[in-house]
Amino acid sequence: MVEVLGKRRFPVTELELFASARSAGLKQQTPWGEVAIEEYSDAAAGRLDLALLAVSGDFAKAHARKLAAQGVAVVDNSSALRLEDDVPLVVPEVNGDAIGNHKLIANPNCTTAILVVALEPLRQAFGLKRVIVSTYQAASGAGAEGMAELEQETRRVLVEGGPAGHSVFAHPLPFNVIPQIDSFQPNGYTREEMKVAWESRKIMGMPDLLVSCTAVRIPTFRVHGEAVTIECERQVTPEAARAVLARAAGVKLVDEPAAQRYPMPITATGQDDVEAGRVRANPVFGDCGLDFFLCGDQLLKGAALNAVQIAERMKLG
């Protein structure tokens, strides 16, 4: 988030970094020089114009509303408040107007943000009846610990010749894929899969949208891929869909199969825009069906970048 603030030249007059007592006193290099980390307190954070929260859901529940009530503009990256009726859930390219005068905004799940930035322009052009999505989610979606485990256990297999172990993930991730992210719900879907459905409906203002998701962890470090099938309300052709995606804000059309150009984690890493490609007609839904593939950097559009884009549209002070 700090890097994105600097890259986008956000008008920061003073940057304050808060963490737990364990990190207090440590110094962090930032685009505004070296900043000492402070132990969090509501009193200290209450002096801010803007607070970007990258914390646990419990912390957000305890402090986010309190800060907003003090006049601080708050963007919360946790899942705690996303479905609360009085807290807008925002992807600026899709529903930026929902920010209005609100002081507390929720940042969506990374997979959802990557999906809806491509879905919304297609919905506007062709209508939308149902969405089926399968995700290919990088180890970094589980945090720094997930990346470290993938590297360590891959090394164990390739260098030491031993079997891969696991503690962060439910199973060894090297040379494997795991069709479980988060806990299973009573309906057989995981919480990660349901977040895509719940949050997409709220962001797009379509409470009855039919959404089915299968979320899969794969052994890459960064960027989430998503294979998407949609049924539109009106006839859609791949050519028309490509034209819509090519001019959509936050989307980069990468769709030249003959040249073997399509969205991939290796090309989407570090990029602000979500790559979209492999656009083709889906015969299951006839003239109204469409398939496409997305890759988006979940640390940027799926988290830090989206949070800063929200902050850019909020009324500060």
Tokens of 13: 């007059």
Do residues 182 and 190 make contact, with C-beta atoms less than 8 angstroms apart?
yes
What span, in angstroms and rounded, lies between the C-alpha atoms of 82 and 226? 21
Among 301, 294, 292, 287, CA closest to 242: 292
Q: Which residues contact 307 (CB under 8 A, 6 or more apart)?
A: 1, 4, 52, 75, 77, 107
What span, in angstroms and rounded, lies between the C-alpha atoms of 114 and 137? 11
Give CA 257 to chain center in angstroms. Answer: 27
The strand pair at 27-30 and 289-296 is best described as: unpaired
What span, in angstroms and rounded, lies between the C-alpha atoms of 68 and 45? 11
Element (H, E) at 46: none
- Using CA atoms, how far residue 238 sits from 27, 222, 226, 261, 282, in Å, is 51, 28, 18, 16, 9
- Using CA atoms, how far residue 103 sits from 59, 61, 81, 92, 272, in Å, is 17, 15, 13, 15, 25
The residues annotated as belonging to the active site are 110, 224
Residue found under tokens 């506007």: 124
